[in-house]
Structure 1
Amino acid sequence: MTTTTALRLEEITAKNLKAALAIRVRPDQEFAVTPVAHSLAEAYVHPGTAWPRLIMDGDRAVGFLMAFLDIDWHEDGGSVIRSGLWRLNIAAEEQGKGYGRFAVRAVAEELRRRGTRELWVTWHPGDHGPENFYLTLGFHKTTETAEEESVGVLPLP
């Protein structure tokens, strides 16, 4: 990873769409995250909720993330408004270089800027899943599940 000044998030545009679609996780992780093309289709049909971004290191696309903003989250028969990280795809050859941590921090900063007090995330359990990654970043695993995925929350002081 280069210096943090070279790291940034970019909106998905016609100019960088091909780079976004080229992001692929490791084969053993494919069960745990939806491909970028599917995420962009969801962003298209949920324009007020989805916040897709390309993770850039200088002029290289190293990953993709999509946050969700102010969704009506149904929990125990009620509903609450939540925001968080919907997708995180770090290119297979770029993993282990700090890009995932940067992405989570960038989403946390965006949510803080919007006045949000918690960052929510879900993950597929499993040996090659991202649970340890999220717990290491300070997320707390809740007792909730969402479509058989574990749910975690990170307080945003």
Structure 2
Amino acid sequence: MADLHLEPLSATTVVAANSLTLKPGQEQYAVPVSHAEAEQTIDPEAAWPRVVLDGDEVVGFIKGSFDEHETRPEFRCCIWQINVKGSAQGRGVGRFAVHGLADEARSRGFHRLTVIWERGDAGPEQFFLHVGFRPEGETRFGEVIGVMDL
């Protein structure tokens, strides 16, 4: 994983990004209920979709959102989605993606990055805690709202 880089989602990478195979049991955590509910109100211009490539291979996908006018603070500067190919997990791909999004957030003048996750044995909680998020509340669905100061 020495040649990791981020690229905008494109016609040549979208199929690979949509076909990432997670580890068994992780699929149920891919998109929290809060995101599915809020998706209709998020400004598509605020979206920041990127693939993580290792050389020429798509090994991850991250979608952020940057909207300083969003009324819900958990969606102003957030990770909307992150998926890492099961066979690439544990090799720094997710950390690389989160740090790339955090760098973009800083360059846009944001000071906090948020993410929402569901608790569960195969869920992403340990990953988000490990990369520097701290729980700061819950959604009305009981999902964790995590915050990282930038």
Look up the SS of the partner of 1:72 in the other structure: coil
Counterpart of 2:55 in structure 1 is 58
Q: Please tell me the residue identity of whatever aligns with 1:56.
A: L
Q: Please tell me the residue identity of whatever aligns with 2:82.
A: L
Superposed CA RMSD:
2.3
2:7 maps to 1:7? no
2:116 maps to 1:118? no
Q: Please tell me the residue identity of whatever aligns with 1:61.
A: V
Task: Name the CA distance, whole Å, in 2 between partners of 1:128 and 1:134.
Answer: 13
Look up the SS of the partner of 1:27 in the other structure: coil
Count of residues in Structure 1 that have an aligned counterpart in Structure 2: 142
2:17 maps to 1:20? yes
Q: Which has the higher contact order (CA 8 A, sep 6+)?
A: 2
Cα distance, 1:136 vs structure 2: 1.5
Look up the SS of the partner of 2:96 in the other structure: helix
Q: Please tell me the residue identity of whatever aligns with 2:23.
A: R
TM-score, L = length of structure 1? 0.81
Look up the SS of the partner of 2:25 in the other structure: helix
Cα distance, 1:73 vs structure 2: 4.2
CA gap of 1:123–1:73, structure 2 versus 1, over 3 A, is farther
Instruction: Tell whether the 8 Å contact from 1:122 to 1:146 is kept in structure 2 after alignment.
Output: no
Task: Name the CA distance, whole Å, in 1 between partners of 2:76 and 2:48.
Answer: 14
Q: Could you list the runs of 5+ residues in structure 2 that have no partner in the other structure?
A: none
Q: Please tell me the residue identity of whatever aligns with 1:150.
A: V
Task: Name the CA distance, whole Å, in 1 between partners of 2:5 and 2:83.
Answer: 15
Counterpart of 1:72 in structure 2 is 70
Identity %: 40
TM-score, L = length of structure 2? 0.84
Say which of 82, 87, 90 aligns to 1:88.
Answer: 82
Q: Could you list the runs of 5+ residues in structure 1 that have no partner in the other structure?
A: none
Q: Post-superposition, which runs of at least 4 consecutive aligned residues in structure 1 deviate over 3 A? A: none
CA gap of 1:122–1:80, structure 2 versus 1, over 3 A, is closer
